[in-house]
Structure 1
Amino acid sequence: MLLVLNGPNLNRLGLREPGVYGSQTLEDLERQCEAWGAELGESVTCRQSNYEGQLLEWVHEAQEHGFTGIVINPGALTHYSYALRDAIASQQVPVVEVHISNVDAREAFRHTSVTAAVCKGKISGLGFFGYRLAMEYLIESA
């Protein structure tokens, strides 16, 4: 069972900078992740929050709720949330960080991820397909 977490502003997909993030919505992304999960034989739960504390709680609770892996797009929290970094590091469930855009080809402040070092891997710049790759990795490595 996989948990897909999306952080701040990802609820604005389809409206926010379509030249960077595309025209598909968060609902489109969630439906796609659920469909990929079904195809891969794994149930998927998708959640989004603009609140750091809520994301921390979901990471903390993942194992006790039976999740075997987490795909996370921390949004802007990627670059400064040591609390999210510590939450990821504090639990046993493997985590893969995903970004829709190629953060390394964007503004300099986006080049640093404080969360990536405690994740199993990081996928950036492949659009929604990066989520599928993260899911495949988590399923294959379980």
Structure 2
Amino acid sequence: MAGDEGGRPSISPTLQYVDAKAAIRQLTEAFGFTTLAVYEAEDGSVAHAELAQGNGAVMLGSKGRGGRFDEAMRNGGPAGVYVVVADVDAHHRRAVEHGAEILMPPTDQDYGSRDYMARDLEGNVWSFGTYAPEVRR
């Protein structure tokens, strides 16, 4: 079954950016993602990139490259992505130090999580918190 072997997550959000290289810098520097792969097209745009956070990953690329996915996402708006982190306050401090736009400071939620929200350079909303959904099989 996908996601069960080799440390590969079974779900990976996929985002497109006008400036994918700037997005990669922000996601790694401000939000602590690790770059797994970046493939550039001949024109220097990002054809495909993979970034990891914990045991999850996000894939991203440059808008306007053509192809079916680019066409399907053409009028797509910003996305929201939730990422589990162990220390919300330390993660938040790092984001602030790197100039991330904070939408909600670290907040204790009624359901037991501690979360904060930030917006990336192109409007996607990233939530970072301690809540991790339990997947039962």
Structure (1 or 2) with the greater strand fraction: 2
More RCO (CA 8 Å, sep 6+): 1
- What is the TM-score when the length of structure 2 is the normalising length? 0.30
Higher normalized helix content (fraction of residues): 1
TM-score (norm 1): 0.30
